[in-house]
Amino acid sequence: MAKLKILEFPDARLRTKATPVEVVDDALRAFIGELFETMYDAPGIGLAATQVDVHKRLLVADVSVDKDEPHVLINPEILEKDGVTVTDEGCLSVPGYYEEVERAEHIKVHFLDRDGAEVELDAHGLLAVCIQHEMDHLDGKLFVDYLSEAKRQRIRKKLEKERRQQGAVVA
Ligand code: ZN
């Protein structure tokens, strides 16, 4: 398995709206393995396919302390949401920044698992927040979109400057 390169804000490819996964096969499962490896290595608690420039509706998450509760959500759809929770969120695509974001505390979400079986999951707290954050990625949305325009521009400028200093090409 190989570690994948994570796109970083303000890369325009992060704004792509992902399309549904049509077949759950061994090739997809191999990609899921790479997503987990990339997420655990980063380290992060969730990763959407969009973040590695694959625009399919697929995300992985593991919010457990021991990193032994992996979740794979293929073509996720939120059926119900309620409650409110505010979390200091970060994102592997916006490295080094953490800001408070308000989201539903509980979601009921429908998806296909890695075998293509239909699953309905009730998620609360951090797992619910993580899934909502990753599902935003599949729609081309980032947590910085919930912040003020001024704050988002500040983060964008700082990240672009850091990348220039590293000699990277800023797209
Ligand atoms: Zn993210």
* Tens digits of pLDDT across the chain (171 residues): 678 999 999 999 999 999 999 999 999 999 999 999 999 999 999 999 999 999 999 999 999 999 999 999 999 999 999 999 999 999 999 999 999 999 999 999 999 999 999 999 999 999 999 999 999 999 999 999 999 999 999 999 999 998 888 876 555
Cα-to-centroid distance, 27 and ligand 1 (Å): 24
Q: Which of 90, 93, 171 shows the shortest CA–CA distance to 138?
A: 93
Task: Just list the catalytic residues.
Answer: 134
Distance CA 16, CA 9 (A): 13
Residue 166 confidence (pLDDT): 81
What's the pLDDT at 168? 64
pLDDT at 154: 95
Using H for helix, E for strand and C for coil, what is the string for the chain? CCCCCCCCCCCHHHHCCCECCCCCCHHHHHHHHHHHHHHHHCCCCEEEHHHHCCCECEEEECCCCCCCCCEEEEEEEEEEEECCEEEEECCCCCCCCCEEEEECCEEEEEEECCCCCEEEEEEEHHHHHHHHHHHHHHCCCCHHHHCCHHHHHHHHHHHHHHHHHCCCCCC
- 6 CA → ligand 1 middle, Å: 10
Cα 88 to Cα 82: distance, rounded to the nearest angstrom: 19
The CA R_g of the chain, rounded to the nearest whole Å, is 16
Distance 51 CA to ligand 1 centre (A): 8
